[in-house]
Amino acid sequence: MAAAPTGLPVIIIGAGVAGLRAAQLLRHQGVPATMLEAKGTIGGRMCTVPYHNAWLEMGASWLHSYHQHPFRTMVKKLGLRTVFTNYNQAHTFPGVQRDDTWHTKLQQAIKRAAKQPKDAPLESFLTNLSTSMRATAMLEAEMYYGASLNKLSGWNFDEGEETKNEDYLLLGGWVHWLQAQAKGLEIRLNTPVATIEATKAGLRVTTTHGTTLEACAVINTAPLGVLQQPTQQAALLPALPPRHRQAIAALGMGNLEKLFFTAPIPSWPRHDVMLLNHPLLPLWYDVTPLLGTPMLMGLAGMGALEALPKNPSAADWLALATPALRQMIPHGPLPTMVAHSAWQSDPFSHGSYSYYKVGSSPADRKTLQKPWLGGRYWLAGEHTDTAYPANIQGAWRSGERVAKALLKEMSLKTR
Protein backbone atom coordinates (compact mmCIF):
# COMPACT_ATOMS: atom_id res chain seq x y z
CA MET A 1 0.00 0.00 0.00
CA ALA A 2 1.32 3.42 -0.90
CA ALA A 3 1.75 6.02 1.80
CA ALA A 4 2.28 9.74 1.63
CA PRO A 5 6.09 9.99 1.79
CA THR A 6 6.23 12.80 4.31
CA GLY A 7 3.29 11.71 6.44
CA LEU A 8 1.51 14.84 5.30
CA PRO A 9 -1.84 14.61 3.52
CA VAL A 10 -2.56 15.32 -0.11
CA ILE A 11 -4.68 18.46 -0.26
CA ILE A 12 -7.35 18.57 -2.91
CA ILE A 13 -8.76 21.95 -3.84
CA GLY A 14 -12.40 21.67 -4.84
CA ALA A 15 -15.03 19.02 -4.12
CA GLY A 16 -16.44 18.76 -7.65
CA VAL A 17 -16.38 15.51 -9.61
CA ALA A 18 -12.62 15.63 -10.27
CA GLY A 19 -11.78 16.24 -6.62
CA LEU A 20 -14.16 13.57 -5.33
CA ARG A 21 -12.75 10.94 -7.66
CA ALA A 22 -9.13 11.75 -6.76
CA ALA A 23 -9.94 11.66 -3.03
CA GLN A 24 -11.77 8.31 -3.36
CA LEU A 25 -8.79 6.61 -5.00
CA LEU A 26 -6.24 8.06 -2.59
CA ARG A 27 -8.32 7.08 0.41
CA HIS A 28 -8.77 3.60 -0.99
CA GLN A 29 -4.99 3.22 -0.95
CA GLY A 30 -4.72 4.60 2.58
CA VAL A 31 -3.28 7.96 1.54
CA PRO A 32 -4.72 10.75 3.68
CA ALA A 33 -6.50 13.31 1.51
CA THR A 34 -8.12 16.52 2.73
CA MET A 35 -10.52 18.31 0.43
CA LEU A 36 -10.94 22.06 0.75
CA GLU A 37 -14.10 23.35 -0.91
CA ALA A 38 -14.87 27.05 -1.21
CA LYS A 39 -18.63 26.63 -1.26
CA GLY A 40 -21.07 25.29 1.32
CA THR A 41 -21.94 22.31 -0.88
CA ILE A 42 -20.07 19.59 -2.75
CA GLY A 43 -20.40 19.07 -6.51
CA GLY A 44 -19.11 22.32 -8.01
CA ARG A 45 -20.68 22.57 -11.44
CA MET A 46 -22.95 19.64 -10.59
CA CYS A 47 -25.36 21.67 -8.57
CA THR A 48 -28.85 20.50 -7.62
CA VAL A 49 -31.29 22.98 -6.13
CA PRO A 50 -34.39 21.54 -4.46
CA TYR A 51 -37.71 22.98 -5.61
CA HIS A 52 -40.78 21.69 -3.79
CA ASN A 53 -40.59 17.93 -4.41
CA ALA A 54 -38.38 18.31 -7.49
CA TRP A 55 -34.71 18.87 -8.20
CA LEU A 56 -33.43 21.61 -10.50
CA GLU A 57 -29.98 21.10 -11.98
CA MET A 58 -28.24 24.45 -12.31
CA GLY A 59 -25.14 22.83 -13.83
CA ALA A 60 -24.70 19.39 -15.40
CA SER A 61 -27.89 17.44 -16.17
CA TRP A 62 -27.08 14.95 -18.89
CA LEU A 63 -24.91 11.89 -19.16
CA HIS A 64 -23.39 12.51 -22.59
CA SER A 65 -21.92 9.59 -24.57
CA TYR A 66 -24.22 7.52 -22.39
CA HIS A 67 -23.20 4.04 -23.48
CA GLN A 68 -19.61 4.43 -22.36
CA HIS A 69 -20.36 6.70 -19.41
CA PRO A 70 -18.65 5.63 -16.17
CA PHE A 71 -21.63 6.81 -14.08
CA ARG A 72 -24.22 4.69 -15.92
CA THR A 73 -24.13 1.72 -13.56
CA MET A 74 -23.51 3.88 -10.50
CA VAL A 75 -26.72 5.87 -10.99
CA LYS A 76 -28.71 2.69 -11.62
CA LYS A 77 -27.40 1.18 -8.38
CA LEU A 78 -28.60 4.27 -6.54
CA GLY A 79 -32.05 3.77 -8.05
CA LEU A 80 -31.84 6.97 -10.13
CA ARG A 81 -33.50 6.96 -13.54
CA THR A 82 -32.19 8.34 -16.82
CA VAL A 83 -34.25 9.42 -19.82
CA PHE A 84 -33.05 9.76 -23.42
CA THR A 85 -33.34 13.24 -24.91
CA ASN A 86 -34.36 12.89 -28.53
CA TYR A 87 -33.25 16.03 -30.31
CA ASN A 88 -34.42 14.59 -33.63
CA GLN A 89 -37.97 14.95 -32.37
CA ALA A 90 -37.57 18.56 -31.28
CA HIS A 91 -40.66 20.64 -31.91
CA THR A 92 -39.91 23.66 -34.09
CA PHE A 93 -41.95 26.83 -33.77
CA PRO A 94 -43.01 28.92 -36.80
CA GLY A 95 -40.15 30.92 -38.25
CA VAL A 96 -37.44 28.63 -36.89
CA GLN A 97 -34.61 28.41 -39.35
CA ARG A 98 -33.16 24.95 -39.04
CA ASP A 99 -31.15 22.95 -41.51
CA ASP A 100 -30.60 19.28 -40.80
CA THR A 101 -27.82 19.02 -43.36
CA TRP A 102 -25.72 20.96 -40.85
CA HIS A 103 -23.60 17.93 -39.91
CA THR A 104 -22.53 17.48 -43.56
CA LYS A 105 -21.65 21.15 -43.75
CA LEU A 106 -19.71 20.85 -40.53
CA GLN A 107 -17.70 17.88 -41.83
CA GLN A 108 -16.86 19.95 -44.92
CA ALA A 109 -15.74 22.82 -42.70
CA ILE A 110 -13.54 20.47 -40.64
CA LYS A 111 -11.85 19.22 -43.82
CA ARG A 112 -11.42 22.78 -45.12
CA ALA A 113 -9.92 23.90 -41.81
CA ALA A 114 -7.49 20.98 -41.71
CA LYS A 115 -6.00 22.11 -45.03
CA GLN A 116 -5.21 25.60 -43.73
CA PRO A 117 -1.71 26.44 -42.46
CA LYS A 118 -3.10 28.37 -39.49
CA ASP A 119 -6.03 27.93 -37.12
CA ALA A 120 -8.91 30.40 -37.48
CA PRO A 121 -12.45 30.74 -36.05
CA LEU A 122 -14.82 27.92 -37.01
CA GLU A 123 -17.03 30.62 -38.52
CA SER A 124 -14.46 31.35 -41.23
CA PHE A 125 -14.58 27.74 -42.49
CA LEU A 126 -18.36 27.61 -42.63
CA THR A 127 -18.63 29.38 -45.95
CA ASN A 128 -21.76 30.27 -47.93
CA LEU A 129 -24.15 29.54 -45.10
CA SER A 130 -27.84 29.97 -45.77
CA THR A 131 -29.78 31.82 -43.07
CA SER A 132 -31.19 28.55 -41.76
CA MET A 133 -27.78 26.91 -41.73
CA ARG A 134 -26.28 29.87 -39.90
CA ALA A 135 -29.00 29.73 -37.22
CA THR A 136 -28.41 25.99 -36.78
CA ALA A 137 -24.65 26.47 -36.60
CA MET A 138 -24.98 29.17 -33.95
CA LEU A 139 -27.31 27.06 -31.86
CA GLU A 140 -25.05 24.00 -31.99
CA ALA A 141 -21.93 26.01 -31.19
CA GLU A 142 -23.38 27.94 -28.28
CA MET A 143 -25.44 25.22 -26.68
CA TYR A 144 -23.02 22.36 -27.15
CA TYR A 145 -19.54 23.85 -27.03
CA GLY A 146 -20.45 26.85 -24.88
CA ALA A 147 -18.92 29.41 -27.24
CA SER A 148 -19.78 31.43 -30.34
CA LEU A 149 -18.73 30.42 -33.84
CA ASN A 150 -16.22 33.27 -33.96
CA LYS A 151 -14.44 32.05 -30.80
CA LEU A 152 -14.24 28.28 -31.45
CA SER A 153 -11.10 26.86 -33.05
CA GLY A 154 -11.78 25.72 -36.62
CA TRP A 155 -9.10 23.09 -36.20
CA ASN A 156 -9.94 21.63 -32.83
CA PHE A 157 -13.40 22.72 -31.62
CA ASP A 158 -14.70 19.13 -31.75
CA GLU A 159 -11.62 17.28 -30.43
CA GLY A 160 -12.49 14.44 -28.08
CA GLU A 161 -14.32 11.14 -28.04
CA GLU A 162 -17.83 12.39 -27.40
CA THR A 163 -20.56 10.33 -29.11
CA LYS A 164 -23.28 12.60 -30.42
CA ASN A 165 -27.00 11.93 -29.83
CA GLU A 166 -26.49 9.83 -26.74
CA ASP A 167 -27.67 12.32 -24.14
CA TYR A 168 -29.56 10.92 -21.15
CA LEU A 169 -31.04 13.20 -18.54
CA LEU A 170 -30.71 12.13 -14.93
CA LEU A 171 -33.90 12.28 -12.87
CA GLY A 172 -34.10 12.60 -9.13
CA GLY A 173 -31.15 14.93 -8.48
CA TRP A 174 -27.43 14.60 -9.00
CA VAL A 175 -27.12 15.59 -5.35
CA HIS A 176 -27.89 11.99 -4.36
CA TRP A 177 -25.14 10.61 -6.55
CA LEU A 178 -22.73 13.23 -5.17
CA GLN A 179 -23.56 12.34 -1.58
CA ALA A 180 -22.84 8.68 -2.31
CA GLN A 181 -19.46 9.57 -3.84
CA ALA A 182 -18.48 11.76 -0.89
CA LYS A 183 -19.07 9.06 1.74
CA GLY A 184 -16.10 8.67 4.07
CA LEU A 185 -14.07 11.49 2.52
CA GLU A 186 -12.64 14.36 4.55
CA ILE A 187 -14.23 17.46 3.07
CA ARG A 188 -14.04 20.91 4.60
CA LEU A 189 -16.82 23.06 3.16
CA ASN A 190 -16.88 26.88 3.12
CA THR A 191 -13.09 26.80 2.97
CA PRO A 192 -11.77 28.80 0.02
CA VAL A 193 -8.05 28.43 -0.52
CA ALA A 194 -6.34 31.83 -0.59
CA THR A 195 -2.70 30.97 -1.27
CA ILE A 196 -0.41 28.03 -1.94
CA GLU A 197 3.35 28.18 -1.41
CA ALA A 198 6.13 25.69 -1.98
CA THR A 199 8.12 24.82 1.15
CA LYS A 200 11.05 22.48 1.81
CA ALA A 201 8.77 19.72 3.10
CA GLY A 202 6.06 20.09 0.50
CA LEU A 203 3.39 22.72 0.04
CA ARG A 204 1.68 25.14 2.40
CA VAL A 205 -1.98 25.91 1.78
CA THR A 206 -3.62 28.89 3.47
CA THR A 207 -7.37 29.35 3.48
CA THR A 208 -9.19 32.67 3.40
CA HIS A 209 -9.97 32.08 7.11
CA GLY A 210 -6.22 32.18 7.80
CA THR A 211 -5.85 28.46 8.56
CA THR A 212 -2.61 26.95 7.32
CA LEU A 213 -2.23 23.33 6.25
CA GLU A 214 0.92 21.51 5.17
CA ALA A 215 0.65 19.02 2.31
CA CYS A 216 2.91 16.49 0.62
CA ALA A 217 1.15 17.27 -2.66
CA VAL A 218 -1.68 19.44 -3.94
CA ILE A 219 -4.30 18.57 -6.53
CA ASN A 220 -5.98 21.74 -7.69
CA THR A 221 -9.32 21.13 -9.42
CA ALA A 222 -10.42 24.78 -9.62
CA PRO A 223 -12.10 25.42 -13.00
CA LEU A 224 -10.16 26.90 -15.91
CA GLY A 225 -12.03 30.20 -15.48
CA VAL A 226 -10.56 30.52 -11.97
CA LEU A 227 -7.04 29.63 -13.10
CA GLN A 228 -7.31 32.31 -15.80
CA GLN A 229 -7.80 35.11 -13.26
CA PRO A 230 -4.40 36.84 -12.85
CA THR A 231 -4.84 37.25 -9.06
CA GLN A 232 -5.83 33.60 -8.61
CA GLN A 233 -2.95 32.49 -10.80
CA ALA A 234 -0.47 34.43 -8.67
CA ALA A 235 -1.95 33.17 -5.40
CA LEU A 236 -2.79 29.56 -6.21
CA LEU A 237 -0.26 28.44 -8.81
CA PRO A 238 3.24 28.88 -7.35
CA ALA A 239 6.15 28.64 -9.82
CA LEU A 240 3.72 27.99 -12.65
CA PRO A 241 5.79 26.79 -15.64
CA PRO A 242 5.53 29.07 -18.70
CA ARG A 243 4.06 26.31 -20.88
CA HIS A 244 1.28 25.74 -18.33
CA ARG A 245 0.64 29.48 -18.24
CA GLN A 246 0.34 29.53 -22.04
CA ALA A 247 -2.03 26.54 -22.02
CA ILE A 248 -4.30 28.16 -19.41
CA ALA A 249 -4.48 31.30 -21.54
CA ALA A 250 -4.92 29.41 -24.82
CA LEU A 251 -8.02 27.39 -23.86
CA GLY A 252 -11.35 29.17 -23.57
CA MET A 253 -13.90 29.16 -20.75
CA GLY A 254 -17.38 29.01 -22.23
CA ASN A 255 -20.70 30.33 -21.04
CA LEU A 256 -23.97 28.54 -20.61
CA GLU A 257 -26.73 29.45 -18.19
CA LYS A 258 -30.02 27.80 -17.34
CA LEU A 259 -33.37 29.48 -16.78
CA PHE A 260 -36.32 27.84 -15.01
CA PHE A 261 -39.97 28.96 -15.23
CA THR A 262 -43.08 27.55 -13.63
CA ALA A 263 -46.87 28.04 -13.66
CA PRO A 264 -49.68 26.46 -11.61
CA ILE A 265 -50.51 24.31 -14.62
CA PRO A 266 -48.31 24.06 -17.74
CA SER A 267 -49.62 26.63 -20.22
CA TRP A 268 -46.98 25.87 -22.86
CA PRO A 269 -46.99 23.26 -25.65
CA ARG A 270 -45.96 19.90 -24.23
CA HIS A 271 -42.86 18.84 -26.13
CA ASP A 272 -39.69 17.52 -24.52
CA VAL A 273 -37.44 19.71 -26.69
CA MET A 274 -38.53 22.94 -28.35
CA LEU A 275 -36.73 25.14 -30.86
CA LEU A 276 -37.96 28.71 -30.82
CA ASN A 277 -37.53 31.54 -33.26
CA HIS A 278 -35.40 33.58 -30.85
CA PRO A 279 -31.82 34.48 -31.81
CA LEU A 280 -30.47 34.26 -28.25
CA LEU A 281 -32.72 31.80 -26.42
CA PRO A 282 -33.68 29.22 -29.05
CA LEU A 283 -33.56 26.01 -27.00
CA TRP A 284 -36.18 25.08 -24.38
CA TYR A 285 -37.28 21.90 -22.65
CA ASP A 286 -40.58 21.00 -21.01
CA VAL A 287 -39.24 19.12 -18.01
CA THR A 288 -42.66 18.85 -16.35
CA PRO A 289 -43.03 15.06 -16.78
CA LEU A 290 -39.48 14.53 -15.57
CA LEU A 291 -39.73 16.70 -12.48
CA GLY A 292 -43.35 15.99 -11.66
CA THR A 293 -44.02 19.72 -11.33
CA PRO A 294 -44.76 22.27 -14.10
CA MET A 295 -41.38 23.50 -15.32
CA LEU A 296 -39.83 24.99 -18.44
CA MET A 297 -36.06 25.05 -18.79
CA GLY A 298 -34.29 27.37 -21.22
CA LEU A 299 -30.61 27.44 -22.13
CA ALA A 300 -28.72 30.68 -22.67
CA GLY A 301 -25.38 30.71 -24.44
CA MET A 302 -22.55 33.13 -24.99
CA GLY A 303 -24.59 35.32 -27.38
CA ALA A 304 -27.29 35.90 -24.75
CA LEU A 305 -24.71 36.75 -22.11
CA GLU A 306 -22.97 39.19 -24.43
CA ALA A 307 -26.31 40.91 -25.06
CA LEU A 308 -27.06 41.34 -21.34
CA PRO A 309 -25.40 43.54 -18.72
CA LYS A 310 -22.54 41.91 -16.79
CA ASN A 311 -23.89 39.70 -13.97
CA PRO A 312 -27.46 39.74 -15.34
CA SER A 313 -30.24 39.96 -12.77
CA ALA A 314 -33.45 37.93 -12.79
CA ALA A 315 -35.17 41.01 -14.30
CA ASP A 316 -32.60 41.11 -17.14
CA TRP A 317 -33.19 37.43 -17.89
CA LEU A 318 -36.93 37.86 -17.75
CA ALA A 319 -36.83 40.78 -20.21
CA LEU A 320 -34.74 38.70 -22.62
CA ALA A 321 -36.90 35.59 -22.19
CA THR A 322 -40.32 37.25 -22.48
CA PRO A 323 -40.50 37.18 -26.32
CA ALA A 324 -39.45 33.51 -26.22
CA LEU A 325 -42.10 32.70 -23.63
CA ARG A 326 -44.68 34.60 -25.68
CA GLN A 327 -43.98 32.31 -28.65
CA MET A 328 -44.85 29.33 -26.49
CA ILE A 329 -47.72 31.03 -24.68
CA PRO A 330 -49.23 33.62 -27.06
CA HIS A 331 -52.05 34.61 -24.67
CA GLY A 332 -52.62 34.78 -20.94
CA PRO A 333 -50.23 35.07 -18.04
CA LEU A 334 -46.62 34.13 -18.55
CA PRO A 335 -44.94 31.58 -16.29
CA THR A 336 -42.91 32.94 -13.41
CA MET A 337 -39.18 32.63 -13.12
CA VAL A 338 -38.08 30.21 -10.44
CA ALA A 339 -34.32 30.30 -10.79
CA HIS A 340 -31.42 31.04 -13.10
CA SER A 341 -27.82 29.96 -12.89
CA ALA A 342 -24.95 32.46 -12.73
CA TRP A 343 -21.82 30.50 -13.59
CA GLN A 344 -20.28 33.40 -15.43
CA SER A 345 -20.17 35.59 -12.31
CA ASP A 346 -19.44 32.75 -9.89
CA PRO A 347 -15.98 33.53 -8.42
CA PHE A 348 -15.30 29.78 -8.07
CA SER A 349 -16.13 29.00 -11.66
CA HIS A 350 -15.96 32.10 -13.93
CA GLY A 351 -17.85 30.36 -16.71
CA SER A 352 -19.52 27.07 -17.54
CA TYR A 353 -16.96 24.73 -19.11
CA SER A 354 -13.81 24.84 -21.22
CA TYR A 355 -13.70 24.90 -25.01
CA TYR A 356 -11.09 24.98 -27.75
CA LYS A 357 -10.54 28.66 -28.44
CA VAL A 358 -8.87 29.62 -31.74
CA GLY A 359 -5.19 28.69 -31.45
CA SER A 360 -5.65 26.07 -28.71
CA SER A 361 -5.32 22.31 -29.12
CA PRO A 362 -5.33 19.03 -27.15
CA ALA A 363 -1.61 19.67 -26.52
CA ASP A 364 -2.72 22.42 -24.12
CA ARG A 365 -4.86 20.03 -22.08
CA LYS A 366 -1.99 17.52 -22.10
CA THR A 367 0.35 20.20 -20.77
CA LEU A 368 -2.04 20.83 -17.90
CA GLN A 369 -1.81 17.13 -17.01
CA LYS A 370 1.88 17.50 -16.19
CA PRO A 371 2.79 18.13 -12.55
CA TRP A 372 5.40 20.62 -11.48
CA LEU A 373 7.29 21.44 -8.26
CA GLY A 374 8.95 18.03 -8.44
CA GLY A 375 5.70 16.13 -8.94
CA ARG A 376 3.98 17.78 -5.97
CA TYR A 377 1.58 20.12 -7.74
CA TRP A 378 -1.12 18.69 -10.03
CA LEU A 379 -4.10 20.10 -11.86
CA ALA A 380 -7.29 18.12 -12.43
CA GLY A 381 -10.74 19.00 -13.73
CA GLU A 382 -12.66 18.75 -16.98
CA HIS A 383 -10.30 21.24 -18.65
CA THR A 384 -7.39 18.79 -18.32
CA ASP A 385 -9.07 15.84 -20.06
CA THR A 386 -8.55 15.29 -23.78
CA ALA A 387 -11.16 12.58 -24.36
CA TYR A 388 -14.24 14.12 -22.69
CA PRO A 389 -13.40 17.74 -21.93
CA ALA A 390 -16.17 20.05 -20.72
CA ASN A 391 -18.19 17.30 -19.12
CA ILE A 392 -18.57 15.27 -15.97
CA GLN A 393 -17.02 12.21 -17.52
CA GLY A 394 -13.88 14.20 -18.34
CA ALA A 395 -13.74 15.63 -14.83
CA TRP A 396 -14.06 12.13 -13.31
CA ARG A 397 -11.32 10.76 -15.57
CA SER A 398 -9.03 13.66 -14.67
CA GLY A 399 -9.33 12.98 -10.94
CA GLU A 400 -8.65 9.32 -11.57
CA ARG A 401 -5.61 10.08 -13.75
CA VAL A 402 -3.99 12.35 -11.17
CA ALA A 403 -4.67 10.05 -8.21
CA LYS A 404 -3.18 7.06 -10.06
CA ALA A 405 -0.12 9.05 -11.14
CA LEU A 406 0.39 10.39 -7.63
CA LEU A 407 0.05 6.93 -6.09
CA LYS A 408 2.62 5.62 -8.56
CA GLU A 409 5.02 8.44 -7.62
CA MET A 410 4.50 7.77 -3.94
CA SER A 411 5.13 4.06 -4.16
CA LEU A 412 8.34 4.78 -6.07
CA LYS A 413 9.42 7.30 -3.46
CA THR A 414 8.61 5.05 -0.53
CA ARG A 415 10.19 1.95 -2.05
Ligand X SMILES: Cc1cc2nc3c(=O)[nH]c(=O)nc-3n(C[C@H](O)[C@H](O)[C@H](O)COP(=O)(O)OP(=O)(O)OC[C@H]3O[C@@H](n4cnc5c(N)ncnc54)[C@H](O)[C@@H]3O)c2cc1C
181 vs 185: CA distance, rounded Å = 9
> What is the helix (H) or strand (E) element at residue 217, kind and residue range?
strand 217-220
Q: Give the footprint of ligand X on residues 218-247 (CB under 6 A).
A: 221-223, 226
In whole angstroms, the minimum distance from the beta carbon of 241 to ligand X comes to 20
> What are the respective helix, strand and coil percentages of the chain, to the nearest 5?
35, 20, 45
37 binds ligand X (CB under 6 A): yes
In whole angstroms, the minimum distance from the beta carbon of 18 to ligand X comes to 3
Binding pattern for the stretch 354-383 against ligand X, x by CB under 6 A and - elsewhere: ---------------------------xx-
Question: What are all long-range contacts of 189-195, with beta carbons under 8 Å and residues at least 24 apart?
Answer: 189/15, 189/37, 189/39, 189/40, 189/41, 189/42, 190/37, 190/38, 190/39, 190/40, 191/36, 191/37, 191/38, 192/36, 192/38, 192/348, 193/13, 193/36, 193/38, 193/236, 194/235, 195/235, 195/236
Nearer to ligand X, 120 or 405 (CB): 405
Contact 186, 46 (CB under 8 A): no
Q: Give the footprint of ligand X on residues 182-201 (CB under 6 A).
A: 192-193
2 binds ligand X (CB under 6 A): no
* Binding test (CB under 6 A) with ligand X, winner from 145, 348, 355, 377: 348
36 binds ligand X (CB under 6 A): yes
10 binds ligand X (CB under 6 A): no
Closest alpha carbon to 343 in 29, 43, 52: 43
* Binding test (CB under 6 A) with ligand X, winner from 349, 360, 361, 367: 349
Stretch that binds ligand X, among 16-24, 238-246, 284-292, 307-315 (CB under 6 A): 16-24
Stretch that binds ligand X, among 57-65, 72-80, 282-290, 404-412 (CB under 6 A): 57-65
Give the torsion through C-alpha atoms of 280, 286, 288, 290, to 10 deg: -100
In whole angstroms, the minimum distance from the beta carbon of 61 to ligand X comes to 4
**3-state DSSP call for residue 306?**
helix
Which residues make up the interface to ligand X (CB under 6 A)?
13-19, 36-39, 44-46, 59-62, 64, 192-193, 221-223, 226, 256, 258, 341, 343, 348-349, 352-353, 381-382, 390-393, 395
